[in-house]
Chains A and B, each alone.
Chain A
Amino acid sequence: MAMRLYISPSDGVPIYLQIVQQIRRLVASGELSPGEELPSIRVLAESLVVNPNTIARAYRELEQAGIVSSSRGLGTFVAEFSQSTSRSERRAVLAEKAQALVLEAHQMGVPLSELNEIVTEACNALRAINPEENHG
């Protein structure tokens, strides 16, 4: 199974966490669907040229978070979760991005009220090209 992951070793984020975040995103966006099998630790380690212990750690974290489930000998699968889980998963992914955005605004000395305006403008721009968003 082809799972598109991009690892940047020199990033400040540890590699196992990069894998966790990217798989979370793939699950949240529906690119990986419940029941789908993830590559084995060994296969993923060899294709990413990353230490297998790092992959194992990422899978462990994903399992603890309920994103995947693994059964000995069978492999690792995207967990069958309810609508509400996938919704909270999407929120978690977006909350992480929002945090980064707020931090950056703070560093540039942009007041939060102004950041709010920027986000609202972006939402309006999206509505303009995609009217369906109006219902959201």
Chain B
Amino acid sequence: MAETILEIKNLVRSFGAKRALDNINLSLEKGTVLGLVGQNGAGKTTLIKHILGLLRAESGSVRVFGMDPVADPPGVLSKIGYLSEEGDLPLWMKVDELIRYSAAFYPGWDSKYAEELQKQFGLSSGAKLGSLSKGQRARAGLLIALAFRPELLLLDEPSSGLDPVVRKDILSAVIRTIADEGRTVLFSSHLLTEVEQVSDRVVMIQDGKIVIDDELATIKQEYCQVSLRFKSPQTVPPSISGGLHWQGDGRNWTALWSGDTDQLLASLSALDGELVSKRGVSLDEIFVAYAGGEKS
């Protein structure tokens, strides 16, 4: 068994009357790239803030590298490379000042790697962070998150509002991070093609609850889009278990479906219908189906 990097048990968090996180259980093994997806306000950032120790668990527990991030912030934060959408960089600093400052902060700082990244990203030493473009600022943030070779790279919507070239830099950094020494990555994104491209495992949060948590390849195998045709028109979505997000009217219906094919065929023949087609789906289609309809 691989080493467990992150262990969250029965985590609950409310903001006023709203349950932001509702009994979250999540564990993350070393060497995994975990993609965290969910709609805005689903609880992704709240979850990440608990991992960073910025929020205290209302109930339940959070352990990162076996430590409580609230009780031992330096112990945990010195092992996490973090990049958020906002970037939180000190905008009054110049690039070289930021690098010197960060090098002093992290014991494991790798100056050679930092130099290599600076060159690769085209960040000039004398440029003030505040006057950089959004893309260059994201690259500076990425450099800081990577150059101390953290055991866990934590990216919260890193690609938001960035152009494709910068987004590719970020994804390449994710790949290099785990290709290098089998380090671990957790990243949240609403760009689901990016999540599909680099993740081993995908966790989908909806209204503070985890609705999907599985290997990406398994998810892609389990879910498919089915098209059905019935002898007589159906006025309501057909009652077929495993179907989600029914669309259609009359004789033709489609749905996102997972389950046992024999069972599907049996329920279909009972309803005087036939399976017209069954095809694989993208993560995006699964996401939309979950966001748009309750499971029947």
* A interface residue numbers (CB < 8 A to B): 7, 9-16, 41-42, 45-46, 49-54, 57, 103, 107
Contact = CB atoms under 8 A, between A and B. Distances in A.
Nearest to B284: A10
Contact of A107 (B31, B216, B221, B277): B277
B198 interface: yes
Contact of B280 (A9, A12, A16): A12
A52 B180 CA distance: 10
19 contacts: A7-B197, A10-B196, A10-B283, A12-B224, A12-B280, A13-B280, A14-B280, A15-B197, A45-B179, A46-B176, A49-B168, A49-B198, A51-B197, A51-B198, A51-B199, A52-B178, A53-B178, A54-B200, A54-B217
A19 to B, nearest CB: 12
Given A11-B282, A12-B220, A14-B221, A51 B175 contact: yes
A112 B196 CA distance: 37
B175 A46 contact: yes
B199 to A, nearest CB: 7
Interface residues of B, number: 32
Interface in B163-198: 168, 171-172, 175-176, 178-179, 192-194, 196-198
Nearest to B278: A103
Given A12-B281, A12-B282, A51-B33, A45 B197 contact: no
Nearest to B198: A51
A103 B227 CA distance: 13
A45 B174 CA distance: 11
Contacts of A7: 197
Contacts of B176: 46
Nearest to B219: A14
Nearest to B172: A49
Most buried by A among B171, B220, B221, B284: B220
A116 B217 CA distance: 36
Contacts of A103: 277
Contact of B172 (A13, A16, A41, A46): A46
Contacts of B200: 51, 53-54
A15 B220 CA distance: 10
A105 to B, nearest CB: 12
Contacts of B280: 11-14
Contact of A49 (B175, B192, B216, B283): B175
B69 to A, nearest CB: 26
A10 B193 contact: yes
B279 interface: yes
Contact of B178 (A11, A14, A51, A107): A51
A102 B200 CA distance: 33
B267 to A, nearest CB: 21
B175 A45 contact: yes
A7 B193 CA distance: 11
Closest 7 CB pairs of A and B: A12-B280, A9-B196, A10-B282, A9-B197, A14-B220, A9-B193, A10-B193
